Amino acid sequence: MNKPVGAITRGTTAHNRLRRCDRWIAAVHGRRLRAVDRPLVVDLGYGASHVTTLELFTRLRRVSPGVEVVGIEIDPARVAVAKPYEREGLSFRLGGFELPVSRPPVLIRAFNVLRQYAEAEAWHYWDVLRGRLAPYGVLVEGTSSENGRRAVWVGLSSRGPETITFSARFDAFERPSDLADRLPKTLIHRNVPGERIHTFLRDFDHAWAVSAPYGVHGARQRWLAAVQALAGTWPVPTRPPLGGAARWRLGEVTLPWPAVSPRD
């Protein structure tokens, strides 16, 4: 076997850390998984424990009973630790960005992996990974806090980045721009005046501030009001599966990637 492409990095992970993103994947991309007989899903860089891969498997089996999940890790010791947890439809193997799988995945989840690479590498591996997708497949690449209460992820098709999603528990932030510390590597250095992501977070903070009166009914109502206000000036999808109250009430908002993409 050739050497896996990439580098071993910190293996930090936790139970339910990626729950917010899994929930979004099931709701937004469940139909994509059901459209295929034995859809293959790759969880790239699952870390020191198999737990988030098992959770992804369990959640996706509910919406797509034929789904097969392969956890790929570049650290052989972490693969050995995960192997005993294999079962029908769930396996773990050694590998890197080359993705050692026998057929193209319909979905690749890579969470808290690319943030540990340089920005230029992150752009490059976006291209590499989306090039490995099955037709109509999706790459979900994101970053979360250690307990998963704040997360930002990008959805990419084989053509390139398509969506960006911001997601937070209501008690895990003071203002929406607190999520800036979870931006993907491709955006984190772009959160400066003149860049779209910076303008968006500034406007989101403003919408949050002017929606303060809704806070008497709870942070959820305030978030709903703030996102609705944002949708007046930003291209926030307002209908399912990407938008609408059913998603926003979870402390989530998705935008088309071009709304926040870097200017150069």
Instruction: Enumerate binding residues for ligand SAM (CB under 6 A).
Output: 6-13, 17-18, 44-47, 52, 72-75, 78, 96-97, 111-113
C-beta of 80 vs 212, nearer to ligand SAM: 80
Of residues 113 and 154, the one with the C-beta less far from ligand SAM: 113
> What order of strands is seen across the sheet that includes strand 90-94?
90-94, 68-73, 40-44, 107-111, 138-144, 150-157, 160-168, 252-256
Q: Closer CB to ligand SAM, residue 70 or residue 227?
A: 70
Structure-token pair, residue 76 = 């052989």
State the minimum distance, in angstroms, from the CB of residue 80 to ligand SAM.
13
DSSP secondary structure string for all residues of 124-193:
HHHHHHHTTSPTT-EEEEEEE-TTSSEEEEEEEETTEEEEEEEEE-TTS-SSGGGGGGG--HHHHTT-ST
Minimum distance between the CB of residue 75 and ligand SAM, rounded to whole angstroms? 4
Whether the CA torsion 190, 194, 199, 201 is positive or negative: it is positive
Q: Minimal distance in Å, beta carbon 254 to ligand SAM? A: 20
Number of helices (H) and strands (E), helices first, in the chain? 8, 8
CB-based closest residue to ligand SAM: 6
d(CA 212, CA 216): 8
CA distances from 188 to 22, 105, 179, 197, 255 (A): 23, 27, 11, 9, 17
Are 251 and 228 a contacting pair, CB within 8 Å?
A: no
Q: Tokens representing 42?
A: 């790759």
Cα 215 from Cα 212, distance rounded (Å): 5
169 vs 220, beta carbon nearer ligand SAM: 169
Cβ-based nearer residue to ligand SAM, 17 or 20: 17
CB of 220 to ligand SAM, least distance (A): 26
Report strand pairing: 107-111 vs 68-73: unpaired
Report residue 258: phi and psi, to 5°: -60, -20
Minimum CB–partner distance for residue 4 and ligand SAM (Å): 6
